[in-house]
Amino acid sequence: MHLILFIIFAGFCLAGAINLLLQTHPINSALSLIVVMSSLAVLYLLLGAEFLAIAQIIVYAGAVMVLFTFVVMLLNVGEEEKTHGSKAAKIIGFPAIVAAFSVLTTVILAIQNKLGGVKLSDGVTPMTELSTVLFRDMLLPFELTSVLILVAILGAVALARKEGHR
């Protein structure tokens, strides 16, 4: 059961991510990213993080991606133009990424036994435990995030506002 769920949703993740790269219209890329994010939410559930699964749907798929699609439509962005881009990025970039990825995979497979496995019966992190840590031990980062969001609000309004007339 676990294996089937993992394979299905990991497959959705990969398909969505690859489709994001292949599509030329930003709106299609945005929709594929939503597929990736929603399937990740299911994987979080398999890992016992039910709160994060819901937050993933609400924050990422709900808020962030709506913002993206909104901007795509606001600016009426069309198909991606085929400019050749930076040659150096492709010549050095691709082998570098493939090399980095294979190193990473070997490293992870090498410590596979130490990492152990994931069972569906492992149980779900209780919300009470999560919220206790979040609102008690993590007070400083929590308050800091509120300042960060204030900056984002101020910045987004100041940058996106039309200048000229008041």
Q: Footprint of other proteins on residues 97-126 (CB under 8 A)?
A: 97-98, 100-101, 103-112, 115-119, 122, 125
Alpha helices in 23-86 (DSSP H): 26-46, 50-55, 65-74
Q: Does 1 engage in binding with other proteins (CB under 8 A)?
A: no
CA distance linking residue 97 with residue 91, whole number of Å: 11
Q: With left for phi above 0 and alpha for psi between -120 and 50, is residue 4 left, alpha or beta?
A: alpha
Q: Does 47 engage in binding with other proteins (CB under 8 A)?
A: yes
Q: Does 30 engage in binding with other proteins (CB under 8 A)?
A: yes
Q: Does 38 engage in binding with other proteins (CB under 8 A)?
A: no
* Least distance from other proteins to the Cβ atom of residue 27, Å: 9
* Least distance from other proteins to the Cβ atom of residue 150, Å: 7
* Residue 87, amino acid: K
CA distance linking residue 112 with residue 106, whole number of Å: 10
CB 125 within 8 A of CB 49: yes
Query: Number of residues in contact with other proteins, rule: CB under 8 A?
Result: 100
Segment 128-147, which members bind other proteins (CB under 8 A)?
A: 129-130, 133-134, 136-141, 143-145, 147
